[in-house]
Structure 1
Amino acid sequence: MTMPMDQNHQQHHETWPKGTQVVANYNFDGSSPDDLPFKKGDVITIVQSTRDPNWYKGRNDNGKEGMVPATYVQKRKEVHLQAMPWYHGKISREEAEALLNNFREEGDFLIRDSVHFHGDYTLSIYFEGLVDHYRIIAKNNKLEVDGGDCLFDNLIQLVEHYEKDADGLCTKLKRALPKKGDSFGAVRIQDFEAGGWVIQKKDLQEIELIGRGEFGDVYKGLYKNQFVAVKQLKDQDRAAQAFLKEASVMTSLRHPNLVQLIGVVTGDQVIRLVTEYMGKGNLVEYLRSRGRSVIQKKDQIDFATDTCSAMEYLESKNLVHRDLAARNILINENNTAKVSDFGLAKYGDYSTEGGKFPIKWTAPEALKNNKFSNKSDMWSYGILLWELYSFGRVPYPRIPLADVVMHVERGYRMEAPEGCPKQIYNLMLRAWNLNPAERPTFKEALQELQNLRSTTV
């Protein structure tokens, strides 16, 4: 085992614990049978450290283990949202002017969605007693101020540029007028590159269309000899940030019951999210297509426990999913259930404005007051359990959608599905307590389900 000498490879100092994911910065052919050869871009999981801080034992995606030179790889880093306090979303020109005229400081500014051009933005600046408005045009995944000659990857870059130089605007941007409440965030493509998450398009082969989602189409693909799911962004300009936010959340999550992000493909005007492939599709279709003749009690408790285990992990990270339902649980070839679709996920117990949420799955306090928390996820989990034990029926059968909330607030609860174990129905009812504080935590629910699982045959 000889350490390769190359002045480009810096000395490694940080110690990586078992389970750390690293990504290869260079090709490594190996110089002894103990070494693990790899190509640039390969992801390797650290199995253990060695007495030499420059070498680790690692495992590749095919399960092969061997020695890995630390200076040839980098730790994959989480991608975080950058704060955008000046972004006010959908407010009118008049509202923007009223806000800026309230403070009357030269160079005060905010950015809002364009009223007339869907997908574009407007930069509003206070200057010499008036508010000037500039259109920000979004095209080909870039942004530019109308009449300007600079292109930007995102709003953060644009603001940073005009804070340094007026560059054609009436004045430099001096003070952001922050939006009250929910603070929006932005993600930069460069952060995925720096974090080791970018996949080269040439390494990815798309095989067949397997689904259509809110943001784009989903394909079955092949990446480094393994099947993957490839989610392609459809409406570039509008959805790019939402799409990248979902990817950024996924970079911070590692759990056997969460669908794992493998990487992001950028370039050629299309953004692609590459995740592990779940061959048996989503849980609701799985339940409906197989039914009682195929799905046993053991399968149901396994799926319930798998999902709860993932949610307990999210709860421990203070991450709220906001869209938990059987359609967002995927099943792999080994019959393991994994939570997917982090497009609406957010950190913290918080309120949000607007947004469309599935009424039958969303807790009353979230629908009425936009108050989302791990406890509102628990309400949704109760609905998911009902779906699971009714073999994929739509919740609240026979109740019109517009009346569901009224019925629930008056105390109506769905009956136990046929053959549903008492303990499971009891958990559903506790998850549907109108008082969020009275609902169980996922940690408590998981303990109950594991006990039930051990006695289910």
Structure 2
Amino acid sequence: AKKQHCKPKAGEIAYHKGDILTVRNGEYRARHNATGEEGLVSGSKLREREALRIDPKLSLMPWFHGKISGLQAAGKLKPVEDGLFLVRESVRHPGDFVLCLCFSQKVFHYRVIFKDNKLSIDNKQFFYNLIDMIEFYSRNQGALATLLLKPKKKEGTKSAETKLLKSGWLLDLSKLTLGETIGEGEFGAVFEGEYAGQRVAVKNIKCDVTAQAFLEETSVMTNLHHKNLVRLLGVILHNGLHIVTELMTKGNLVNFLRTRGRFAISATQLLLICITKDFIWTTLKVIFSIFRFFFAPSDSRFSNSCISAKYCPILTNHTPMESLFKIDT
């Protein structure tokens, strides 16, 4: 919202400057993302969500300082205050990490052991990644001296979570319901779900490094708005990174054409799909080879495509991210 609207008339909704609203019907009816209230709005008081700039300084883990010694970590945690923390890579134990936490004018060093593809400090609580661990101990003291209250950011980094929140791309976890798995790839699983009453597809990336790479791709997707591009709704930072997009309800293109789809799409439409898909795919390869934005298109087989509710085929295989391109029939 560009302006506030605190005294709504009957059928309207109230909102403040900076609030995020989702347009539901035409240009005049919207849902308040925070309250869930729906009603009429004035188009002149709204603007499109701010797109994220591709910024290598944006980090999902601004508190991670890489491989430094305990002495160096203690030097960075000054002035000492309860709850101030950072995470470093262990020098003595390669592959493990160390959580450095300030409490009572001291710096405590907790070794984070990596075993069986999970992380743990006390062999009681286990985590898939550092992001999950920090999120947990920010709410639960557990085996620590105190809660994690204030991250010590690595010099030159910016918090991706803060940026996503301010720009309106960080979604509310409480409004997301995950359903069955509809796909599994090299980088994570894809679930069908529902967000604030809308059916969605949710890709969950649990690996820290991969999640960081996907963050850069997500930044690019916030800049892309076209009828032939699947729409990014936003991201959720919980149990890794969740990328939420609109759901393609008709499933895999190959299976669709082998079954009920052959009666829904004519031969002329199918020929147009083939011609248009290959033309666009070739064009994209040329564009991305020049600009090298965020992924390299790799495989445009029909088995890597999906169908939307309006029978729009979508290419679904990028490297490293599954593609989100639609082709009108």
Task: Find the residue that maps to 1:158 and give its secondary structure.
Answer: coil
Change (3 A) 1:272 1:339: same
Task: Report what 2:21 is aligned to.
Answer: 42
Per-residue CA shift, 1:277-307, capped at 9, x if unaligned? 0011132333345586775313313433664
Task: Report what 1:249 is aligned to.
Answer: 220
In the TM superposition, residue 246 of structure 1 has moved relative to its aligned partner by 3.0
Question: Kindly, what percent of the aligned residue pairs are identical?
Answer: 24
Change (3 A) 1:140 1:65: closer
CA RMSD, 1 decimal: 5.0
Change (3 A) 1:191 1:305: farther
Task: Provide the TM-score with structure 1 as the length reference.
Answer: 0.41
Pairing partner for 1:75 from 25, 49, 70:
49
Task: Find the residue that maps to 2:190 and give its secondary structure.
Answer: strand
In the alignment, structure 1 residue 274 sits paired with structure 2 residue 244:
yes
In the TM superposition, residue 75 of structure 1 has moved relative to its aligned partner by 2.9
Task: Provide the TM-score with structure 2 as the length reference.
Answer: 0.54
In the TM superposition, residue 257 of structure 1 has moved relative to its aligned partner by 2.0
Task: Report what 2:130 is aligned to.
Answer: 139
Change (3 A) 1:217 1:64: same
Contact 1:282 1:330 in 2 (8 A): yes
Structure possessing the higher radius of gyration over alpha carbons: 1
Task: Report what 1:202 is aligned to.
Answer: 174
Within 5 Å, give how 1:374-413 maps onto structure 2: none
Task: Report what 1:236 is aligned to.
Answer: 207
In the TM superposition, residue 188 of structure 1 has moved relative to its aligned partner by 2.5
Q: Aligned partners of 1:309, 1:152: CA distance in 2, in Å?
A: 51
Q: Aligned partners of 1:153, 1:240: CA distance in 2, in Å?
A: 19
In the TM superposition, residue 331 of structure 1 has moved relative to its aligned partner by 0.7
Change (3 A) 1:228 1:80: same
Contact 2:190 2:202 in 1 (8 A): yes
Give the number of equivalent residue pairs.
243
Unaligned stretches of 5+ in structure 1? 1-8, 13-25, 48-56, 85-111, 121-134, 144-149, 162-185, 346-445
Pairing partner for 2:156 from 150, 160, 176:
160
Larger relative strand fraction = 2
Contact 1:119 1:237 in 2 (8 A): no
Q: Aligned partners of 1:119, 1:341: CA distance in 2, in Å?
A: 33
Task: Find the residue that maps to 1:75 and give its secondary structure.
Answer: coil
Aligned partner letter, 2:224: L
Task: Report what 1:182 is aligned to.
Answer: none
Task: Report what 2:314 is aligned to.
Answer: 338
Greater relative contact order (Cα < 8 A, sep 6+): 2
Task: Find the residue that maps to 2:42 and give its secondary structure.
Answer: strand
Unaligned stretches of 5+ in structure 2? 32-37, 59-88, 98-111, 115-128, 135-147, 322-326
Aligned partner letter, 1:262: L
Change (3 A) 1:203 1:291: closer
Aligned partner letter, 1:207: G
Aligned partner letter, 2:214: F
Q: Aligned partners of 2:44, 2:221: CA distance in 1, in Å?
A: 27
